[in-house]
Amino acid sequence: MRGVALALVLAFGWANRAGCCWLAGHAPYTVRKALPAQGAPAPGPAEPPVLRALVFADFGDTTCQQAAVARGMAAAHARAPFDLALSAGDNLYECGPDPRLPGAAACAFAADANAAQPGYTPPEDPRFGKLFEGPLSQLLRAGQPIPVYLALGNHDQNSDSRCQEGDLEPVRLGRTRACLEVAHRGPHWRMPGRHYVVDEGPGRFVVLDSNLLIRDYGGFTLDDEVAFLHEATKGCERRPCFVVAHHPPASAGGKGDGDVYAGPDRFAERVRRLQEAASAPIAAWFAGHDHDLQHLRSPAGYDVFVSGNGSRWRDEKFERVRPPDAELFFASTAWGFAVLEISPGGWSVRFEDDAGAPLHCCTATFPGSCRPAACGPAPLGPSAREPPPR
Protein backbone atom coordinates (compact mmCIF):
# COMPACT_ATOMS: atom_id res chain seq x y z
CA MET A 1 0.00 0.00 0.00
CA ARG A 2 2.83 2.37 0.81
CA GLY A 3 4.26 1.85 -2.68
CA VAL A 4 0.88 2.56 -4.26
CA ALA A 5 0.48 5.73 -2.22
CA LEU A 6 3.95 6.91 -3.26
CA ALA A 7 3.17 6.18 -6.90
CA LEU A 8 -0.02 8.24 -6.66
CA VAL A 9 1.82 11.16 -5.09
CA LEU A 10 4.49 11.07 -7.78
CA ALA A 11 1.88 10.78 -10.54
CA PHE A 12 -0.08 13.72 -9.15
CA GLY A 13 3.10 15.81 -8.95
CA TRP A 14 3.98 14.98 -12.54
CA ALA A 15 0.43 15.77 -13.67
CA ASN A 16 0.62 19.15 -11.95
CA ARG A 17 3.75 20.03 -13.87
CA ALA A 18 2.36 18.73 -17.14
CA GLY A 19 -0.92 20.69 -17.06
CA CYS A 20 -3.03 17.54 -17.45
CA CYS A 21 -6.67 17.72 -18.53
CA TRP A 22 -8.02 15.99 -15.46
CA LEU A 23 -6.66 18.91 -13.40
CA ALA A 24 -8.67 21.45 -15.40
CA GLY A 25 -11.26 21.73 -12.65
CA HIS A 26 -8.75 22.09 -9.82
CA ALA A 27 -9.48 24.78 -7.26
CA PRO A 28 -6.59 27.25 -7.53
CA TYR A 29 -4.78 28.27 -4.37
CA THR A 30 -4.61 32.05 -4.03
CA VAL A 31 -3.14 34.45 -1.49
CA ARG A 32 -3.53 38.22 -1.58
CA LYS A 33 -2.87 41.28 0.50
CA ALA A 34 -5.94 43.28 1.53
CA LEU A 35 -6.97 46.02 -0.90
CA PRO A 36 -6.93 49.67 0.16
CA ALA A 37 -9.92 50.74 2.24
CA GLN A 38 -13.14 51.71 0.47
CA GLY A 39 -13.06 55.33 -0.60
CA ALA A 40 -9.29 55.30 -1.06
CA PRO A 41 -8.85 53.85 -4.55
CA ALA A 42 -5.38 53.33 -5.89
CA PRO A 43 -4.38 56.15 -8.24
CA GLY A 44 -4.14 55.26 -11.86
CA PRO A 45 -4.06 56.72 -15.35
CA ALA A 46 -7.17 58.68 -16.24
CA GLU A 47 -6.56 58.42 -19.99
CA PRO A 48 -7.64 55.41 -22.05
CA PRO A 49 -4.77 53.03 -22.83
CA VAL A 50 -2.60 53.70 -25.84
CA LEU A 51 -0.96 50.29 -25.73
CA ARG A 52 -2.45 46.95 -24.67
CA ALA A 53 0.00 44.05 -24.22
CA LEU A 54 -0.53 40.37 -23.42
CA VAL A 55 2.08 38.86 -21.07
CA PHE A 56 2.60 35.12 -20.59
CA ALA A 57 5.44 32.63 -20.09
CA ASP A 58 6.30 28.94 -19.78
CA PHE A 59 3.86 28.35 -22.63
CA GLY A 60 5.77 25.98 -24.92
CA ASP A 61 4.25 22.59 -24.17
CA THR A 62 1.22 20.95 -25.83
CA THR A 63 -0.83 20.29 -22.71
CA CYS A 64 -4.49 20.66 -21.86
CA GLN A 65 -3.48 23.68 -19.79
CA GLN A 66 -1.80 25.33 -22.76
CA ALA A 67 -4.95 24.82 -24.86
CA ALA A 68 -7.13 26.33 -22.12
CA VAL A 69 -4.84 29.34 -21.62
CA ALA A 70 -4.58 29.87 -25.40
CA ARG A 71 -8.39 29.94 -25.63
CA GLY A 72 -8.53 32.42 -22.76
CA MET A 73 -5.98 34.70 -24.39
CA ALA A 74 -7.84 34.54 -27.72
CA ALA A 75 -11.11 35.43 -25.97
CA ALA A 76 -9.47 38.40 -24.21
CA HIS A 77 -8.06 39.53 -27.57
CA ALA A 78 -11.52 39.28 -29.15
CA ARG A 79 -12.99 41.50 -26.40
CA ALA A 80 -10.28 44.15 -26.65
CA PRO A 81 -7.43 43.55 -29.13
CA PHE A 82 -3.84 43.36 -28.00
CA ASP A 83 -1.25 45.44 -29.82
CA LEU A 84 1.54 43.01 -29.00
CA ALA A 85 2.40 40.08 -26.76
CA LEU A 86 5.39 39.29 -24.57
CA SER A 87 6.58 35.73 -23.86
CA ALA A 88 8.97 35.64 -20.90
CA GLY A 89 10.76 32.43 -21.83
CA ASP A 90 10.50 28.64 -21.83
CA ASN A 91 9.04 28.91 -25.29
CA LEU A 92 9.94 25.35 -26.41
CA TYR A 93 9.78 22.57 -23.82
CA GLU A 94 11.64 20.41 -22.91
CA CYS A 95 14.90 21.22 -24.58
CA GLY A 96 14.55 24.10 -27.02
CA PRO A 97 15.15 23.86 -30.80
CA ASP A 98 16.44 20.68 -32.44
CA PRO A 99 20.21 20.92 -33.05
CA ARG A 100 20.24 17.70 -35.10
CA LEU A 101 18.45 19.19 -38.11
CA PRO A 102 20.60 19.77 -41.20
CA GLY A 103 22.36 23.10 -40.85
CA ALA A 104 21.28 23.72 -37.25
CA ALA A 105 24.75 23.24 -35.78
CA ALA A 106 26.07 25.97 -38.09
CA CYS A 107 24.01 28.65 -36.35
CA ALA A 108 26.40 31.30 -35.05
CA PHE A 109 26.11 34.65 -33.36
CA ALA A 110 27.34 37.86 -34.92
CA ALA A 111 30.32 39.75 -33.52
CA ASP A 112 28.08 41.32 -30.86
CA ALA A 113 27.29 37.83 -29.43
CA ASN A 114 23.64 38.89 -29.47
CA ALA A 115 22.04 38.73 -32.94
CA ALA A 116 22.40 35.79 -35.31
CA GLN A 117 25.12 35.93 -37.97
CA PRO A 118 23.77 37.87 -40.99
CA GLY A 119 22.80 35.63 -43.88
CA TYR A 120 22.20 32.52 -41.81
CA THR A 121 18.89 30.74 -42.48
CA PRO A 122 17.89 28.18 -39.85
CA PRO A 123 16.35 24.85 -40.88
CA GLU A 124 12.60 24.33 -40.62
CA ASP A 125 11.98 23.07 -37.12
CA PRO A 126 8.45 21.76 -36.45
CA ARG A 127 8.89 22.38 -32.72
CA PHE A 128 8.25 26.10 -33.20
CA GLY A 129 4.87 25.62 -34.84
CA LYS A 130 3.73 22.71 -32.69
CA LEU A 131 4.83 23.94 -29.27
CA PHE A 132 4.41 27.71 -29.56
CA GLU A 133 3.12 29.42 -32.67
CA GLY A 134 0.27 27.07 -33.58
CA PRO A 135 -1.67 27.55 -30.31
CA LEU A 136 -1.48 31.35 -30.82
CA SER A 137 -3.00 31.28 -34.30
CA GLN A 138 -6.11 33.22 -33.23
CA LEU A 139 -4.14 36.25 -32.07
CA LEU A 140 -4.77 38.26 -35.23
CA ARG A 141 -5.44 41.94 -35.86
CA ALA A 142 -6.80 43.02 -39.23
CA GLY A 143 -6.03 39.49 -40.41
CA GLN A 144 -2.35 39.66 -39.45
CA PRO A 145 -0.63 37.95 -36.50
CA ILE A 146 0.12 40.32 -33.65
CA PRO A 147 3.85 40.52 -32.88
CA VAL A 148 5.02 38.30 -30.03
CA TYR A 149 8.35 39.38 -28.51
CA LEU A 150 10.18 36.59 -26.69
CA ALA A 151 12.87 36.18 -24.05
CA LEU A 152 15.09 33.13 -23.64
CA GLY A 153 14.21 30.76 -20.79
CA ASN A 154 16.30 28.00 -19.25
CA HIS A 155 14.52 25.32 -21.32
CA ASP A 156 15.18 27.24 -24.54
CA GLN A 157 18.93 26.71 -24.22
CA ASN A 158 18.79 23.47 -22.21
CA SER A 159 21.97 21.41 -22.42
CA ASP A 160 21.60 19.15 -19.38
CA SER A 161 21.73 15.36 -19.54
CA ARG A 162 18.05 15.07 -20.55
CA CYS A 163 18.63 17.21 -23.61
CA GLN A 164 21.84 15.86 -25.13
CA GLU A 165 20.72 15.69 -28.75
CA GLY A 166 23.41 15.37 -31.37
CA ASP A 167 27.14 15.42 -30.65
CA LEU A 168 27.61 19.03 -29.51
CA GLU A 169 29.41 19.68 -26.23
CA PRO A 170 27.15 21.24 -23.55
CA VAL A 171 28.70 24.71 -23.87
CA ARG A 172 28.21 24.76 -27.61
CA LEU A 173 24.82 23.06 -27.38
CA GLY A 174 23.37 25.79 -25.15
CA ARG A 175 24.80 28.48 -27.42
CA THR A 176 23.44 26.77 -30.57
CA ARG A 177 19.94 26.42 -29.15
CA ALA A 178 19.89 30.07 -28.12
CA CYS A 179 21.10 31.00 -31.61
CA LEU A 180 18.38 28.95 -33.30
CA GLU A 181 15.67 30.75 -31.33
CA VAL A 182 17.17 34.14 -32.19
CA ALA A 183 17.50 33.21 -35.87
CA HIS A 184 13.95 31.81 -36.17
CA ARG A 185 11.33 33.85 -38.01
CA GLY A 186 7.64 33.05 -37.72
CA PRO A 187 4.16 34.61 -37.67
CA HIS A 188 4.19 34.83 -33.86
CA TRP A 189 7.93 34.99 -33.18
CA ARG A 190 10.05 38.13 -32.76
CA MET A 191 13.44 37.63 -31.12
CA PRO A 192 16.02 39.86 -32.81
CA GLY A 193 18.68 39.04 -30.19
CA ARG A 194 19.38 37.48 -26.82
CA HIS A 195 18.61 40.94 -25.48
CA TYR A 196 16.92 43.85 -27.24
CA VAL A 197 14.64 46.87 -26.81
CA VAL A 198 11.09 47.34 -28.09
CA ASP A 199 9.66 50.87 -28.11
CA GLU A 200 5.89 50.92 -28.54
CA GLY A 201 3.62 53.86 -27.78
CA PRO A 202 4.51 55.45 -24.43
CA GLY A 203 6.35 52.36 -23.14
CA ARG A 204 9.72 50.67 -23.54
CA PHE A 205 10.33 46.93 -23.13
CA VAL A 206 13.85 45.83 -22.26
CA VAL A 207 14.20 42.10 -22.98
CA LEU A 208 17.05 40.34 -21.16
CA ASP A 209 18.70 36.92 -21.21
CA SER A 210 18.17 36.16 -17.52
CA ASN A 211 19.74 32.71 -17.78
CA LEU A 212 22.90 34.61 -16.91
CA LEU A 213 21.45 35.46 -13.51
CA ILE A 214 21.80 31.77 -12.69
CA ARG A 215 25.20 31.16 -14.26
CA ASP A 216 27.22 32.02 -17.34
CA TYR A 217 26.52 29.66 -20.24
CA GLY A 218 27.47 29.12 -23.87
CA GLY A 219 30.36 31.57 -23.63
CA PHE A 220 28.03 34.41 -22.58
CA THR A 221 28.55 36.32 -19.33
CA LEU A 222 26.43 38.56 -17.13
CA ASP A 223 28.71 41.44 -18.11
CA ASP A 224 26.88 41.51 -21.47
CA GLU A 225 23.51 42.02 -19.78
CA VAL A 226 24.88 44.63 -17.37
CA ALA A 227 26.30 46.74 -20.22
CA PHE A 228 23.14 46.33 -22.30
CA LEU A 229 20.77 47.28 -19.48
CA HIS A 230 22.81 50.41 -18.73
CA GLU A 231 22.30 51.66 -22.29
CA ALA A 232 18.73 50.39 -22.69
CA THR A 233 17.44 52.26 -19.62
CA LYS A 234 18.69 55.68 -20.65
CA GLY A 235 15.63 57.94 -20.79
CA CYS A 236 13.54 55.70 -18.54
CA GLU A 237 13.00 58.63 -16.18
CA ARG A 238 10.75 60.09 -18.90
CA ARG A 239 8.76 56.99 -19.89
CA PRO A 240 7.83 53.72 -18.17
CA CYS A 241 10.35 50.98 -18.94
CA PHE A 242 9.56 47.33 -18.33
CA VAL A 243 12.11 44.53 -18.09
CA VAL A 244 11.02 41.26 -19.71
CA ALA A 245 13.09 38.26 -18.59
CA HIS A 246 12.46 34.64 -17.71
CA HIS A 247 13.64 34.64 -14.09
CA PRO A 248 11.92 36.88 -11.53
CA PRO A 249 14.13 38.92 -9.17
CA ALA A 250 11.60 38.25 -6.37
CA SER A 251 9.14 35.40 -5.93
CA ALA A 252 7.05 33.38 -3.50
CA GLY A 253 7.00 30.34 -5.81
CA GLY A 254 8.56 27.01 -4.96
CA LYS A 255 11.01 26.87 -7.87
CA GLY A 256 13.14 29.39 -6.04
CA ASP A 257 14.05 26.69 -3.54
CA GLY A 258 16.02 24.98 -6.28
CA ASP A 259 18.13 26.57 -8.98
CA VAL A 260 17.35 30.25 -8.47
CA TYR A 261 17.88 31.12 -4.83
CA ALA A 262 20.17 28.21 -3.90
CA GLY A 263 23.70 28.95 -2.78
CA PRO A 264 25.24 31.87 -0.89
CA ASP A 265 23.19 34.67 -2.46
CA ARG A 266 24.76 34.27 -5.88
CA PHE A 267 21.47 34.97 -7.67
CA ALA A 268 20.73 37.96 -5.43
CA GLU A 269 24.19 39.35 -6.07
CA ARG A 270 23.74 39.07 -9.83
CA VAL A 271 20.34 40.74 -9.63
CA ARG A 272 21.95 43.54 -7.60
CA ARG A 273 24.57 44.03 -10.32
CA LEU A 274 21.87 44.40 -12.95
CA GLN A 275 19.79 46.77 -10.84
CA GLU A 276 22.77 49.01 -10.15
CA ALA A 277 23.60 49.13 -13.86
CA ALA A 278 20.27 50.76 -14.77
CA SER A 279 20.67 54.35 -15.92
CA ALA A 280 17.18 55.21 -14.63
CA PRO A 281 14.58 53.36 -12.54
CA ILE A 282 12.52 50.66 -14.23
CA ALA A 283 8.76 50.56 -13.66
CA ALA A 284 8.35 46.78 -13.45
CA TRP A 285 9.89 43.40 -14.23
CA PHE A 286 7.78 40.78 -16.07
CA ALA A 287 8.88 37.16 -15.72
CA GLY A 288 7.90 33.51 -15.72
CA HIS A 289 9.90 30.49 -14.50
CA ASP A 290 7.59 29.97 -11.52
CA HIS A 291 4.53 28.22 -12.91
CA ASP A 292 1.99 30.52 -11.29
CA LEU A 293 0.79 34.14 -11.23
CA GLN A 294 2.28 36.69 -8.83
CA HIS A 295 2.55 40.41 -8.07
CA LEU A 296 5.34 41.51 -5.75
CA ARG A 297 7.27 44.67 -4.94
CA SER A 298 11.03 44.18 -5.02
CA PRO A 299 13.27 45.63 -2.29
CA ALA A 300 14.59 48.03 -4.95
CA GLY A 301 11.09 49.51 -5.32
CA TYR A 302 9.93 48.27 -8.72
CA ASP A 303 7.01 45.89 -9.26
CA VAL A 304 7.56 42.23 -10.18
CA PHE A 305 4.92 40.32 -12.13
CA VAL A 306 5.18 36.56 -12.67
CA SER A 307 2.93 35.26 -15.46
CA GLY A 308 4.30 31.74 -15.79
CA ASN A 309 1.24 29.50 -15.76
CA GLY A 310 1.00 29.00 -19.51
CA SER A 311 1.32 25.23 -19.94
CA ARG A 312 2.65 23.61 -16.76
CA TRP A 313 1.05 23.93 -13.35
CA ARG A 314 2.65 23.54 -9.91
CA ASP A 315 1.09 22.96 -6.51
CA GLU A 316 2.13 26.06 -4.54
CA LYS A 317 1.30 27.56 -1.12
CA PHE A 318 3.45 30.72 -1.45
CA GLU A 319 4.66 30.45 2.13
CA ARG A 320 8.11 31.95 1.63
CA VAL A 321 8.88 35.22 -0.16
CA ARG A 322 12.41 35.66 -1.50
CA PRO A 323 14.23 37.89 -0.97
CA PRO A 324 12.62 38.20 2.46
CA ASP A 325 12.25 41.98 2.25
CA ALA A 326 10.17 41.77 -0.94
CA GLU A 327 6.44 42.44 -0.53
CA LEU A 328 3.86 39.98 -1.88
CA PHE A 329 0.49 41.39 -3.00
CA PHE A 330 -0.98 38.45 -4.91
CA ALA A 331 -0.14 34.90 -5.90
CA SER A 332 -2.25 32.14 -7.44
CA THR A 333 -1.95 28.73 -9.05
CA ALA A 334 -4.82 29.60 -11.41
CA TRP A 335 -4.17 28.97 -15.09
CA GLY A 336 -4.00 32.37 -16.75
CA PHE A 337 -2.04 35.35 -18.01
CA ALA A 338 -1.42 39.07 -17.47
CA VAL A 339 -2.56 42.12 -19.42
CA LEU A 340 -0.51 45.33 -19.35
CA GLU A 341 -2.13 48.60 -20.43
CA ILE A 342 -0.08 51.79 -20.83
CA SER A 343 -1.43 55.33 -21.21
CA PRO A 344 0.50 58.62 -21.43
CA GLY A 345 0.16 59.14 -17.67
CA GLY A 346 0.55 55.67 -16.24
CA TRP A 347 -0.07 51.96 -16.59
CA SER A 348 -2.00 49.05 -15.13
CA VAL A 349 -1.80 45.25 -14.90
CA ARG A 350 -4.69 42.82 -14.81
CA PHE A 351 -4.38 39.07 -14.22
CA GLU A 352 -7.13 36.91 -15.75
CA ASP A 353 -7.72 33.18 -15.55
CA ASP A 354 -8.26 31.00 -18.60
CA ALA A 355 -12.04 31.59 -18.39
CA GLY A 356 -11.65 35.39 -18.41
CA ALA A 357 -12.35 35.98 -14.71
CA PRO A 358 -10.28 38.79 -13.14
CA LEU A 359 -7.86 37.61 -10.45
CA HIS A 360 -5.86 40.69 -9.45
CA CYS A 361 -5.45 44.25 -10.70
CA CYS A 362 -3.18 47.19 -9.95
CA THR A 363 -2.76 50.69 -11.33
CA ALA A 364 0.16 53.13 -11.46
CA THR A 365 0.63 56.80 -12.19
CA PHE A 366 4.07 57.17 -13.74
CA PRO A 367 6.60 57.26 -12.12
CA GLY A 368 4.83 55.61 -9.17
CA SER A 369 4.45 51.93 -8.37
CA CYS A 370 1.47 49.74 -9.22
CA ARG A 371 -0.97 49.73 -6.30
CA PRO A 372 -3.50 46.90 -5.96
CA ALA A 373 -7.05 47.96 -6.81
CA ALA A 374 -10.42 46.34 -7.34
CA CYS A 375 -10.78 44.83 -10.79
CA GLY A 376 -13.49 46.28 -12.99
CA PRO A 377 -15.33 44.40 -15.73
CA ALA A 378 -13.34 42.97 -18.60
CA PRO A 379 -12.43 45.76 -21.02
CA LEU A 380 -14.32 45.94 -24.28
CA GLY A 381 -12.89 47.39 -27.44
CA PRO A 382 -13.44 47.59 -31.19
CA SER A 383 -12.52 44.61 -33.28
CA ALA A 384 -9.56 46.47 -34.76
CA ARG A 385 -7.83 49.49 -33.25
CA GLU A 386 -5.23 51.71 -34.80
CA PRO A 387 -1.77 50.42 -33.92
CA PRO A 388 0.04 52.36 -31.19
CA PRO A 389 2.33 55.20 -32.24
CA ARG A 390 5.97 54.20 -32.40
Q: How far is CA 143 from CA 59, 83, 137, 139, 385, in A?
A: 23, 13, 11, 9, 12
Mean pLDDT of 259-267: 59
Give every CB contact of residue 376 below 8 A, 6+ residues apart in sequence: 358, 361
CA–CA dist 322, 252 (Å, integer): 6
Q: Give the closest residue to 367 by CA, choosing from 259, 281, 269.
A: 281
- pLDDT exceeds 50 at position 6: no
Task: Give the confidence band of 124 by pLDDT, cuts at 50, 70, 90.
Answer: very high
Task: Write the pLDDT tens digit of every residue in 198-252.
Answer: 999 999 999 999 999 999 999 999 999 999 999 999 999 999 999 999 999 999 9
CA dihedral 203, 208, 210, 216 (to 10 degrees): -160
Cα-based angle 208, 80, 73 (whole degrees, multiple of 5) = 55
Mean pLDDT of 71-86: 98
Strand order in the sheet with 293-297: 30-32, 327-332, 293-297, 303-307, 284-287, 241-244, 203-207, 196-200
* 3-class secondary structure, 11: helix
In a 13 Å sphere around the CA of 18, the CA atoms on its Cβ side amount to 9
**Higher-confidence residue: 10 or 363?**
363
What's residue 12's pLDDT? 40
Which one-letter amino acid corresponds to residue 303?
D
CA–CA dist 196, 212 (Å, integer): 15
Q: Give the closest residue to 295 by CA, choosing from 379, 206, 378, 362.
A: 362
Instruction: Kindly write down the DSSP assignment for every residue of 260-281, as one continuous string.
Output: TT-SSSHHHHHHHHHHHH-SS-
Task: Write the pLDDT tens digit of every residue in 7-53.
Answer: 433 344 444 455 566 555 568 999 999 876 554 455 556 578 899 99
What's residue 19's pLDDT? 55
- pLDDT exceeds 80 at position 4: no
Report all structural domains of the chain as residue ranges with CATH numbers, in order of start.
2-373 (3.60.21.10)
Task: Write the pLDDT tens digit of every residue in 190-212.
Answer: 999 999 999 999 999 999 999 99
**Contact present, 17 and 59 (Cβ < 8 Å):** no
- pLDDT exceeds 80 at position 317: yes
Task: Write the pLDDT tens digit of every residue in 282-296.
Answer: 999 999 999 999 999
pLDDT averaged over every residue in the chain? 89
ω into residue 102 within 30 of 0, thus cis? no
Give the predicted TM-score (pTM) of the model.
0.91
**Higher-confidence residue: 352 or 6?**
352
The phi-psi region of residue 91 (left if phi > 0; otherwise alpha if psi is between -120 and 50; otherwise beta) is alpha
What's residue 20's pLDDT? 60
What's residue 159's pLDDT? 87
